[in-house]
Chain A
Amino acid sequence: GQSLEQPSEVTAVEGAIVQMNCTYQTSGFYGLSWYQQHDGGAPTFLSYNALDGLEETGRFSSFLSRSDSYGYLLLQELQMKDSASYFCDRGYQKVTFGTGTKLQVIP
């Protein structure tokens, strides 16, 4: 079965903050990566958490809690161009992506 779970869709308002969650099974885990994919485009790497805590890169932050088998991607000051699908990956043996969260940013 699917070892990474993500909500299927999230809608947020331009300028707001949105959090997209990812829960995973602990069997085989190195760290949590996040990828962004715009409609019709290719996935592109956003961030990676090997250790617990928050990693920040500009408007994007990613969080990991190994004890909870949980992580999230936080987007601040949302822009229309952030509308895309966001995938998490647990980076073990093979790169297996979560089901992805489709983020829609509305005016």
Chain B
Amino acid sequence: DTAVSQTPKYLVTQMGNDKSIKCEQNLGHDTMYWYKQDSKKFLKIMFSYNNKELIINETVPNRFSPKSPDKAHLNLHINSLELGDSAVYFCASSQDHPRLGSGANVLTFGAGSRLTVL
């Protein structure tokens, strides 16, 4: 069983379209994240949810809207896609709460979703 699964794995779309990426974890973790990894391989956090509550919201355009229907799911919806949105988007989960935990806060990542905007 895949611990953190995200779909789709590849997404090619035109500028201006709206798309969603889904993520599910079966680890029983309380916290989930979305990261963006650009062509320079820099991993940047976008959002984090703990038990369906938004706890981290980095400086991300409001075209990006996360939704967490329950603590096992965190979806990412992107409106009006732009060329600069092309990247690999990783979903991750952890048991620890990033603002309270002082331990390793080990992240388990999904396989990534490669978004290409034409």
Contact = CB atoms under 8 A, between A and B. Distances in A.
Question: For the side of the interface on B, what is the size category?
Answer: 20 to 34
B112 interface: yes
Contacts, number: 64
A83 interface: no
B105 A95 contact: yes
A41 B112 CA distance: 8
Given A31-B103, A50-B103, A95 B108 contact: no
Given A31-B104, A93-B99, A102 B41 contact: yes
B43 A33 contact: no
B41 A45 contact: no
Interface in B81-118: 90, 94, 98-99, 101-112
Given A42-B90, A42-B110, A42-B111, A91 B105 contact: yes
B33 interface: yes
Given A35-B107, A45-B108, 4 more contacts: A30-B105, A42-B110, A91-B102, A95-B45
